[in-house]
Amino acid sequence: MRVIIFSWEYPPRVVGKLADYVKKLAVHLARNKIETHVITYHDYMTGEFEENGVKTYRVTNPVKTHISVLTWVLTLNQEVERAAANIYYRAGGSIDVIDVQDWHFIPAAVTLKKVFGIPFVYSIESLEDHRSHGANSPFNMAIKSIEWLGMYEAGKILVKSEWMASEAVRIYKVPEAKVKVAKPESERWLRTVLETYKSLREAHRSV
């Protein structure tokens, strides 16, 4: 199985707690014989590296000056697409699943789904509704609209707690069956993640 994880933070670039989680996930997947790629952002340390069995592909933003994290994210997505397309073509056109961590690279995941038919998992660390304390300025609404797109287009949604599962259902009206809970501290964590990936791959194959 070949998986690409999209994350806007990954060590050594640590912004919040997502970076360490994604690293743990990628390393565990690689140990379980999953070909694991991570596409992430770095200011200048760009290019491809292999770290602990994980193939990382760091891209930088082609547009350096920005007015908000929203515009910053939206010009970075094309670089993520470029990196993913490079992996895809090199692998002879077989990527089983893309795992998008949070909202930043949902646009890229959606495009890759439309173009190559690669299904994706939307993994939620946090939601804009909580981050912005319910603020609904056009800026917050724009981010929410991208989260909505992710909820809608994703094959499955992975969350880290029962509470977040219920929040996804409450805020975005996602069908409950679409949301899977994989608690990072639980023993079943990795197995749940893997089962989710496999279920998407099987669903995709049967189409």
Partner 1 sequence: MSDELRVMMLTWEFPPRIIGGISPHVYYLSRSLAKNGVKVYVVTCDFPGAPAHETVDSVEVYRVDSYKNPSPDFASWVYLMNMNMQKEAASLVRELGGVDIFHAHDWLVANAGIGLKHVFRRPLLATVHSTEYGRRNGIHSDYERMIHETEAWLTYEAWKVICCSNYMVSHVKWVFGLPEDKLVMIPNGVDAKEYEKSDIDLNQFRRRFALPEEKIVLFVGRLVYEKGIHVLINAVPKVLEKVNAKFVIVGNGYMQQSLLEHIRNIGLAHKVMFTGFVDDKTLRNLQKCADVSVVPSLFEPFGIVALEAMAAKSPVVVSDTGGLSEIVEHEVTGIKVYPNNPDSLAWGITRVLLDENLANKLRENAYRKVVEMYNWERISQQIKRVYEIVLSEYSKTFWA
Quick check: 68 binds partner 1 (CB under 8 A)?
Answer: yes
Binding mask 117-136 for partner 1 (x = CB under 8 A): --------------------
Q: Are 131 and 37 spatial neighbours (Cβ–Cβ below 8 Å)?
A: no
Binder among 114, 170, 183, 198 for partner 1 (CB under 8 A): 114
Strand pairing report for 47-51 and 54-59: antiparallel
Q: Are 20 and 11 spatial neighbours (Cβ–Cβ below 8 Å)?
A: yes
Separation CA 54–CA 127 (nearest Å): 27
Quick check: 98 binds partner 1 (CB under 8 A)?
Answer: no
Quick check: 90 binds partner 1 (CB under 8 A)?
Answer: no
Separation CA 71–CA 130 (nearest Å): 21
- Rank residues 15 and 115 by Cβ distance to partner 1 and give the closer one: 115
Quick check: 138 binds partner 1 (CB under 8 A)?
Answer: yes
Binder among 32, 52, 75, 161 for partner 1 (CB under 8 A): 75
Measuring CA to CA, which residue among 183, 135, 134, 185 is closest to residue 163? 183
- Give the Å distances, CA to CA, from 176 to 60, 157, 159, 164: 36, 10, 12, 12
Site for partner 1 in 160-179 (CB under 8 A): none
Residues lying near partner 1 in the complex (CB under 8 A) are found at 62-68, 70-71, 74-75, 77-78, 81-82, 85, 89, 107-108, 110-112, 114-116, 137-139, 141-142, 145-146
